[in-house]
Amino acid sequence: MKNAKKNFKILVRNKQPAKKENSIRNFCLSSKLEHQLKYGKEILSLSQYIREWSSLLLNPGGLLMRVRADAKNLAFDQTDTVDISNTEQNIGFFYNVVVKNQLNILQNVLISLEQLPVGNYILNRMPKGGLFATVYKESENGAFDLHSKYSNFNLLEVNVPWTPLDLRLVSPSYEIIEDVLLDKRRPKFKKKKRKSK
């Protein structure tokens, strides 16, 4: 079963955001707001990288144009043009994830869905479940009972002390309002006593 190959016909709805003049390649557009440009470019999150990689995978031979803009004044700072191999390298370098292996997981899900009877299904994956997902089948009367699904949802209550604010840290809100965070404690100054002559 591990090495079994199976062909699936999958209908994927996709968009084609841009096409350069006199070019055969398609372009996917992506935007990234930079909050602290003076400290350098921010690294994209894993979910942003995966979204970009999947849009490049669905547009074979396409390129991704990432526009970085300053969050303060929305001015364009930089445009990056990357292909699918660059995106795979960045994901592997920053997050130590081999993206092509995720397609094997998708194939295993499709193989298990193929064994189920014909019908409408909802595939739900909780982050704490690891690689496992729950498949919900449409009920006979056509209604999905949300109360039964979330009635046994357990929340962990953890008492974690608040991290004190570091007033030396420059935050994006500091750059916008150009003022320090308000401190409710007033500074205590000791009055010097004058010496009498």
Tens digit of pLDDT for each residue in 65-92?
Answer: 888 888 888 888 888 889 999 999 999 9
pLDDT (average), residues 125-153: 71
**Strand ranges for the chain from DSSP E:** 18-19, 26-34, 63-70, 76-82, 121-124, 134-137
Residue 131 has pLDDT above 80, yes or no: no
d(CA 87, CA 46): 11
**The pLDDT of residue 41:** 81
**The pLDDT of residue 90:** 92
CA dist list (Å): 46 to 109, 150, 187: 22, 28, 44
Q: Which of 71, 3, 67 is nearest to 33 (CA)?
A: 71
3-state secondary structure of 124: strand
**Please, which pLDDT band fits residue 61 given cuts at 50, 70 and 90?**
confident
Q: Which of 18-22, 90-94, 130-134, 192-196 has the highest mean pLDDT?
A: 90-94
pTM surpassing 0.85? no
Q: How many residues does the chain have?
A: 197
